[in-house]
Amino acid sequence: MASIQDKIVLITGASSGIGAACAKAFAQGKAKLILVARRLERLEELANELKHTTQVHCLSLDVCDRFSVESALKSLPESWTNVDILINNAGLSRGLDKLYEANIQDWEEMIDTNIKGLLYMTRFLVPGMVHRERGHIINIGSIAGHQTYPGGNVYCATKAAVRALSEGLKMDLLATPVRVTSVDPGMVETEFSQVRFHGDIERAKKVYQGITPLTAEDIADIVFFCASRPPHVNISELVVLTTDQS
């Protein structure tokens, strides 16, 4: 295992679910954390919890807004600018409707967050990694990028795009030591389903009935494992399912 102590790790979507669990896992490894999301109060709550273990910097930004991304990253204090590990985790699904009946605003939100958000973060942070000749981008994709399910249409398309972007970036970085990993989870119990159903908690709970879903910590363990391999080892893609999923 390679140490991640003192590495600067930027996690998008750190205010909840998988992103928050990654923050806790990387804090245990003594990495320095930049926590990113829109809900600053949630980030600060988590930062308070982790500050006894490691150094934490909170950054409130909307990954869909390239100007917000650019100005927030430019505002980072000097000692936080050399990001070693970027975890592109912010993402969401909206609705579970037939393509020809769905809410167009829902599509835009998924495309803007899951694809454009990941692209903006990557575009702003990877040049520094190439320049410093070290770095790791870990994209949180989904089983939805491999299998389309009924009503999943646009969400599945965005996660198929994440897969293609991970592959493309890997090719672009081939002659450099910068690594790219795609971690593609199956069903994980987080706030994801509540967001999908616009806060309908009862409908969200039904998604997990009769199965044992993955936990956010299960995925954070895997992400940490990928990040802590020796520098010449690149775990390219990992699909992580619950035993109830095929």
Annotated catalytic residues are: 155
Q: Which long-range contacts (CB under 8 A, 24 or more apart) does 241-246 make?
A: 241/143, 241/185, 241/186, 241/187, 241/214, 242/186, 242/187, 242/211, 242/212, 242/213, 242/214, 243/212, 244/187, 244/210, 244/211, 244/212, 244/213, 245/143, 245/186, 245/187, 245/211
Q: Alpha-carbon distance 239 to 68, whole Å?
A: 32
Residue 233 beta carbon to ligand NDP: minimum distance, rounded to whole angstroms: 24
Q: Which two tokens stand for residue 184?
A: 């593609």
Q: Alpha-carbon distance 146 to 186, whole Å?
A: 10
Residue 97's CB is within 10 A of a number of other CB atoms, namely: 15
Residue 55 beta carbon to ligand NDP: minimum distance, rounded to whole angstroms: 20
Q: Which is nearer to ligand NDP, 50 or 188 (CB)?
A: 188
Q: Which is nearer to ligand NDP, 10 or 187 (CB)?
A: 187
Residue 177 beta carbon to ligand NDP: minimum distance, rounded to whole angstroms: 26
Q: Which is nearer to ligand NDP, 54 or 114 (CB)?
A: 114
The amino acid present at 77, given as its one-letter code, is P
Q: Alpha-carbon distance 116 to 110, whole Å?
A: 9
Residue 176 beta carbon to ligand NDP: minimum distance, rounded to whole angstroms: 25
Residue listed under structure tokens 């990113």: 36
Instruction: By CB under 6 A, name the binding residues for ligand NDP.
Output: 12-13, 15-19, 37-39, 42, 62-64, 89-92, 113, 117, 140, 142, 185, 187-188, 190-192, 195, 216
Q: Which is nearer to ligand NDP, 86 or 216 (CB)?
A: 216
